[in-house]
Structure 1
Amino acid sequence: MQKNEQGVVLLSGGNPQIAKGDGDEPVQAYIAAMPGWKSALGKRLDEIITRSVPDVRKAVRWNSPFYGSEGGGWFVTFHVLTRYVKVTFFDGTSLQPIPPGGTPKSKEARWIDIYEADELDESQMTGWVKQASALPGWVP
């Protein structure tokens, strides 16, 4: 079992093991525990989401930060993998343009994988977040 500098257990692919919790605090703990360059990306994603949806609801579920609306379900999450961070929109097939990741089994969900050398298109991410937040969210 690998741990990072803060003593947080890193699961498969370096994903931080953060206890389930609601609010900004567990999300910020997750982002701080993301290894290497991924933490800075997590901060940027969190800033984009919070700026785009000021009343966003935040939580950590299944060792990933989730963003949604009160009573409306979750619309986006991200997750650390070995070489990239996966940003998933639960109703991604309703977004324009549709995010590139998807399989026949992923139903409406679509995602974008962001690698260290990638330039984050903040304008596109902002557009997707705003669109996704206006749709009915995923309710587990």
Structure 2
Amino acid sequence: MDAYFATQKPSDRALLDRLRAVVLKALPDAQPALKWGAPFYLVNGKNITSMAAFKEHVSINFFAPPEVLIDPTGRLEGEGKGNRALKVRAAADIDPVAITRWLKAAVAASG
């Protein structure tokens, strides 16, 4: 997993490192895994979150039905029934309180 982070451009790496720190603090027992070329974090064998770098942003995904991912500011994006994503373009986009809430909701929804 460290190899994925090491290969990212410095600006993306900084954002990914901050996101990873939030995930590890919120879910200290999560199991890291590299799936489909991206870092995932699992709890009890179920995907809870993943993150990846893209051309103009990094993204953190939350694997839960949208109705449990309380998002009063409308920052989460996606159309599927089982996940939503937060696009991060700058450190200011990383709200540890909201991300922790979404991570805990994803764990609860995973059964």
Q: TM-score, normalised by structure 2?
A: 0.84
Match in the other structure for 1:74: 47
Residue 66 of structure 1 contacts residue 77 of structure 1 at CA under 8 Å; is this kept in 2?
A: yes
Give the drift of 1:31. Answer: 1.5
Superposed displacement of residue 127, structure 1: 1.5
Higher RCO (C-alpha under 8 Å, 6+ residues apart)? 2
Q: Which residue number corresponds to residue 135 of structure 1?
A: 109
| Letter aligned with residue 114 of structure 1 | V
Give the structure 1 partner of residue 69 of structure 2: 95
Contact 2:26 2:104 in 1 (8 A): yes
Q: Secondary structure at the match of 1:127?
A: helix
Residues 111-136 of structure 1: per-residue CA shift (max 9 Å, x gap): 11111374311211121112212221
Larger Rg belongs to: 1
Task: Return the letter of the residue paired with 2:52.
Answer: H
Mapped to 1, the partners of 2:4 and 2:76 lie a distance apart of 25
Look up the SS of the partner of 2:14 in the other structure.
Answer: helix
1:84 corresponds to which residue? Answer: 57
Shift of 1:100: 2.1
Same amino acid, percent of matched pairs: 28
CA contact (8 A) 1:85 1:113 kept: yes
- Count of residue correspondences: 108
**Are 2:28 and 1:60 equivalent residues in the alignment?**
no
Structure 2 stretches lacking a partner, 5+ long: none
Question: Which structure shows the bigger proportion of residues in helix conformation?
Answer: 2
Give me the whole-angstrom Cα distance separating, in 2, the residues matched to 1:43 and 1:136. Answer: 25
Q: CA RMSD in A?
A: 1.9
Matched position secondary structure for 1:134: helix
Question: Using the alignment, how far apart are the partners of 1:54 and 1:45 within structure 2?
Answer: 14
